[in-house]
Structure 1
Amino acid sequence: MTTELPHTTAKRVPFWQRKASLILLAILAALAVFGTTTQTWIHVAIAQGEVAQTDLDIPGNKAAVAVSALAMVALAGAVATSIAGKVARIVTSCIVFLSAAGIVAVVLGIVLDPAAAAMTEVGTATGIEGQPSDATATIFPVLAIVAAVVLGLATLLVLWFGRNWKVRSKYDAAKQESATESDGPIDEIDHWDQLSRGEDPTA
């Protein structure tokens, strides 16, 4: 006679609710934004006389210095969110979200008016302020917007689903483990474990 064991199905947490997945997504999105700033964002054709023409390629870190700075802020905030407690997570997530919104706003201005964004670099290259130029945006500003949108969505998901995340740091995990162990009898091994954590087993 065989006895069938009951099937236990563990509830699988979807990708968009996992702490590790969402924070990793936010970190990768912030890195992607920063990566686009190292590429050419604006291609400029500067008229030199009636026939001559000079081409100028402007990278994102010169066309929009603020984007590089905001991407670094978002990256630092995403990393901090991974170890933050409940209240600190809300603060860091808001900072990351505002950084993502700022990136989108700045880059949209460049995509809509690349000539204005290139004016400073064109003036530096020609020595003439207000030099007429034919400026066009490349694909990289658009990719920066896409990455910033992903960053913002990941942050919103962190804010929403982060309410249900239980263990938030190594300190919380150790405290939870200590509370569980204190419910049962303590043997010699438990004494050593408590001493290794800096606790007094005689208390």
Structure 2
Amino acid sequence: MSAAAPQTPTAKPPVWARKANVVLAMTILALAVFGTTTQSWIDVRLDPAAAANADLHVQGSKAATAVTALALVALAGGLASSIAGKVSRWIIATLVVLASAGIIVAAATVLADPLGAAQGTIAATTGISGGRAAASSTVFPILAVAAAGLLALCGVLLPLAGRRWRARTKYDLASRAARAGSGPVDEIDSWDSLSRGEDPT
């Protein structure tokens, strides 16, 4: 009887591809984007004749309402990627990249025309639409763009990093065992293979 060949230990994935690092990075970046929306994105100097208070600060959630929702979508996707399968990771990656692109576009719009983005808040505060005012953007839209750019990068890396993650689901384990020539893991996996139209033998 020949001795069984020693098993080659699974290579540890690089730092950028580790599940904990990828999930944590997406979570932190999505929360960072969300956090910027609670801060002032636009500082407005109103016409003194239009309001007693000539200073107005517009939060990101009001200057770019879509950013808050898109940040939450990216956050949910980042958390879900920790338990997602191969196909699901591609879907999540697409959603994260699209959400990041939407955040960048919305923030860039505020940076390009802060007065236009503040018009709704100005009208709600003063009751006057189209009055004279001077507006300037703060640093927070820029921070949102930077965080969203890194978030998009994480979304692109997600499917690549996911290839190095260990199988978590029973189907993934059975698939790897079949490719390795070791057969189904147990009787339950045999029935699951039959239900998927595969021959476990």
Q: TM-score, normalised by structure 2?
A: 0.77
Unpaired runs of at least 5, structure 2 = 1-8, 189-201
What's the RMSD between the two structures over aligned residues? 3.0
Aligned to 1:163: 163
> Who is 1:111 aligned against?
111
The structure with more radius of gyration: 1
For these two proteins, the number of residue pairs brought into alignment is 178
- Normalised TM-score (structure 1): 0.76
Partner SS for 2:46: strand
Give how far 1:161 is off: 2.5
- Measured after TM superposition, the shift of residue 163 of structure 1 is 2.7
- The answer to whether the 8 A contact 2:114-2:136 is kept is yes
How far does the alpha carbon of each residue in 1:149-185 deviate from its partner, in whole angstroms, 9 at most, with x for none? Answer: 1101111111223233331x36468869x99xxx8xx
Farther off after superposition, 10-19 or 20-29: 10-19
Alignment of 1:22-171 (within 5 A): 22-49=22-49, 54-167=54-167, 169=168, 171=170
Distance in 2 (alpha carbons) for counterparts of 1:98 and 1:126: 36
Q: Is the 8 A contact 1:115 1:135 kept in 2?
A: yes
Distance (Å, rounded) in 1 between the aligned partners of 2:21 and 2:53: 49
Q: Shift in Å at residue 12 of structure 1?
A: 4.6
Give every structure 1 segment of 4 or more consecutive aligned residues whose post-TM-superposition deviation is greater than 3 Å: 9-12, 170-176
Tell me the amino acid that sits aligned with residue 122 of structure 1.
I
* Residue in structure 1 matched with residue 14 of structure 2 by the alignment: 14
Contact 2:30/2:72 (8 A) holds in 1: yes
For residue 101 of structure 2, what is the amino acid of its counterpart? A
Asked if structure 1 preserves the Cα contact closer than 8 Å seen for 2:86 and 2:159, the reply is no
Matches within 5 A, 1:166-177: 166-167=166-167, 169=168, 171=170
Aligned-pair CA distance for 1:48? 2.1
User: CA–CA distance in 2 between the matches of 1:23 and 1:30?
Assistant: 11
How far 1:132 sits from its partner (Å)?
A: 1.8
- In the TM superposition, what whole-angstrom CA distance separates every residue of 1:109-151 from its partner, at most 9, and x where no partner exists? 1011101000110111110111221000001111111110110
How far apart are residue 16 of structure 1 and its match? 1.1
SS of the aligned residue for 1:78 comes to helix
The answer (yes or no) to whether the contact 2:17–2:164 under 8 Å persists in 1 is no
Q: Is the 8 A contact 1:45 1:53 kept in 2?
A: no
What displacement does 1:62 show? 0.8
Unpaired runs of 5+ residues, structure 1, are 1-8, 184-193, 198-203
1:104, distance to aligned residue in structure 2 (A): 0.4
